[in-house]
Amino acid sequence: MTNLQKPIGSKFGAASTAAEVIQGIDLSGKTAIVTGGYSGLGLETARALRSAGAQVIVPARDLNKAATALAGIGGVQIEAMDLIDPASINAFAQRFLASGQPLHILVNSAGIMAGPLTRDARGYESQFATNHLGHFQLVRQLWATLLEANDARVVSVSSWGHRRSPVIFEDPNFERREYEAWAAYGQSKTANILFALELDKRGKADGVRAFSLHPGSIVGTGLQKHVSREELRAFGVIDENGNQILDPARQMKTVEQGAATSVWCAVSEQLDSMGGVYCENCEVAELYDDKSPQSFGVMPYAVDPEAAERLWTLSEQFTL
């Protein structure tokens, strides 16, 4: 396996914000789609891209909630879409294709985390279906518009939570093993990384590059609705009074800091000749090494090209 996971000397760092990363970037004439762009990290990502002049489209399951959240950001277009509903994804994609626009930036930021076992209409486990399969289908449906851009980027928001599980190809939907919420979340986040790796391999010759990332541990995005206060305390992200602990050096960030890496992956000129890498703190992350004092990085199984190709094939079968 060729290791592309080497820092490249970014001028930004753990405490950088999305506003700082986007400063001086001109996205006039560019079109961006941000899933989950009406809450948490996605909202801040949409705000940054729009501030640089991009036309920003936010697909949303709850149109009223999206309209309220995005009211302060002028010019953002809201469209109906539900990542767990294949027909909804196809309908959104067809509307975008009909507009004739090229797609320059796609940030796959929406997701769910550590909920109880539920399944979509096809019987697929909901975290795998929402976090990975929905975005896989969306990219496949929008592929022609990414090609039209001639220089497009797809950004896959993963998590350090990917360390909790590789993709279990023999039983991705917990049909033959006991369901464990964090293992299911970890599997879906590993899938986000593998997807970016294989997508970049397939798209780079045509100008489509892909990146994945860990934004940091951020409280208050709405992602933690299934996580108890006791769990958050055990994870060390809130104190005994329930207040968020902020320490960017340990990946505990504000929303503005968390969105910075998504924005960096979407617009940084330093990444112009790169792709398929997993990033943290506005930088290409290193491979995780349990013998190293570094506490983050990417698990080797999440950047395994054979696993990435296998996941692509499986995802095609699941989204026929």
Which residues are marked as active site?
A: 185
Maximum pairwise Cα distance, the chain: 53
Q: Return d(Cα 133, Cα 17) in angstroms, integer.
A: 29
Q: Pull the structure tokens for residue 59.
A: 């697909």
Instruction: Name which of 106, 104, 107, 94 is nearest 150 in CA terms.
Output: 104
Beta-bridge partners for 114:
none
Output b/e per residue, 41-77; b: 16+ Cβ within 10 A. bbbbbbbbbbbbebbbbbbbbeeeebeebbeebeebe
Copy the structure tokens of residue 190: 């590993």
Do residues 139 and 199 lie in contact, with contact meaning Cβ atoms separated by under 8 Å?
A: yes
Partner residues linked to 238 by β-bridges = 244
Q: What is the sign of the dihedral through the CA atoms of 13, 260, 115 and 68? A: positive
> Counting Cβ atoms within 10 Å, is residue 280 exposed (0-12), middle (13-18) or buried (19+)?
buried
CB 211 within 8 A of CB 275: yes
CA distances from 143 to 138, 154, 207, 244 (A): 8, 11, 11, 39
Of the candidates 186, 86, 211, the one whose C-alpha atom is nearest the C-alpha of residue 136 is: 86
Sheet strands side by side (includes 152-157): 77-80, 55-60, 31-35, 105-108, 152-157, 208-214, 278-280, 283-284
